């Protein structure tokens, strides 16, 4: 394993510049080609228990939770790919060992639905032996706790929007290793020093503006999730010189 040492996480893969579909195999491959630290993606569970990679809880208007994978496969992404399953996606990501796969467990319609998805993901990761490639992120604190119950060594990060954030001390107590918050949250409070003193890391999302990226880099942010990984990689190269 030889993970890229930079701060760049491509949000839903590196899709934007080349107009690839978000969360597609093509956008994952592009994030790998760019040598991003990580490529982020989202997962949902179909009615017949396939884990699929998609941001929204519907695919082209078809609700994922009440559709079979066979039904969802009848429509295509705009580049001609089928909706990827988690298995397809991990198999592609595991062809290399430079870019981490940042797996977001989406919050379902109930806690039970979220935890059912979480269990299914853990089972798939175990089956494919994909653990070393993966970092888990979720807005569901319970999903992260469940992951850590099964795999105490897993890297997990708690996602939060403004007003939902928890202190890094709380995350630390629960062995969650990273705060992964809306970047505006870090404008107040001493997040970076407190996290680093605890041996934790901080990620900010979704940062697409050069000025915001530079301010976060100045503040010693560990990771930035962005729709503009090319821009952030350029800024970091300049920063190094």
User: Residue 42 interacts with Mg ion (CB under 5 A)?
Assistant: yes
Scanning 37-45, 71-79, 118-126, 215-223 for contacts with Mg ion by CB under 5 A, the matching segment is: 37-45
CB of 10 to Mg ion, least distance (A): 11
Residue 218 CA from chain centroid, whole number: 23
At 61, give phi and psi (nearest 5°).
Answer: 90, -10
CB of 23 to Mg ion, least distance (A): 8
- Count CB neighbours of 177 within 10 A: 21
- Count CB neighbours of 69 within 10 A: 17
Taking CB under 5 A as the criterion, which residues in 93-152 touch Mg ion?
A: 104
Distance (Å, rounded) from C-alpha 229 to C-alpha 72? 29
Scanning 38-46, 109-117, 127-135, 161-169 for contacts with Mg ion by CB under 5 A, the matching segment is: 38-46
Distance (Å, rounded) from C-alpha 228 to C-alpha 84? 22
Who contacts 115 (Cβ-Cβ below 8 Å, separation ≥6)?
142, 143, 146
Residue nearest to Mg ion (CB): 104
Residues, the chain? 241
Give the residue from 168, 170, 225, 224 showing the smallest Cα distance to 200: 168
14 or 199, CB closer to Mg ion? 14
User: Residue 228 interacts with Mg ion (CB under 5 A)?
Assistant: no
CB of 130 to Mg ion, least distance (A): 18
104 or 135, CB closer to Mg ion? 104
Distance (Å, rounded) from C-alpha 155 to C-alpha 174? 12
User: Residue 180 interacts with Mg ion (CB under 5 A)?
Assistant: no
CB of 70 to Mg ion, least distance (A): 25
Scanning 31-39, 41-49, 73-81, 113-121 for contacts with Mg ion by CB under 5 A, the matching segment is: 41-49
Site size toward Mg ion, by CB under 5 A:
2
List residues near Mg ion by CB under 5 A.
Answer: 42, 104
């Amino acid at each position: 394993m030889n993970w890229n040492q930079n701060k760049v996480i491509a949000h839903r893969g590196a899709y934007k510049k080349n107009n690839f579909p978000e969360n597609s195999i093509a956008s994952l491959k592009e994030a790998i080609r760019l040598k991003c630290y990580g490529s982020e993606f989202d997962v949902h569970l179909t009615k017949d228990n396939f884990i699929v990679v998609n941001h929204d809880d519907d695919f082209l208007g078809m609700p994922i939770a009440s559709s079979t994978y066979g039904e969802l496969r009848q429509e295509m992404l705009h580049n001609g790919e089928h909706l990827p399953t988690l298995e397809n996606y991990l198999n592609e990501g595991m062809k290399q060992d430079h870019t981490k796969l940042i797996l977001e467990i989406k919050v379902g319609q109930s806690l039970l639905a979220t935890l059912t998805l979480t269990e299914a993901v853990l089972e798939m990761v175990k089956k494919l032996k994909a653990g070393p490639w993966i970092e888990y992120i979720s807005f569901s604190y319970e999903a992260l706790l469940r992951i850590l119950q099964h795999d105490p060594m897993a890297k997990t990060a708690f996602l939060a929007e403004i007003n939902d954030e928890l202190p890094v001390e709380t995350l630390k107590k629960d062995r969650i290793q990273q705060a992964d918050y809306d970047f505006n949250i870090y404008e107040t409070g001493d997040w970076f020093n407190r996290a680093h003193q605890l041996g934790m890391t901080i990620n900010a999302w979704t940062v697409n503006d050069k000025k915001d990226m530079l301010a976060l880099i100045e503040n010693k942010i560990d990771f930035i999730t962005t729709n503009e990984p090319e821009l952030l990689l350029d800024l970091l190269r300049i920063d190094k010189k």
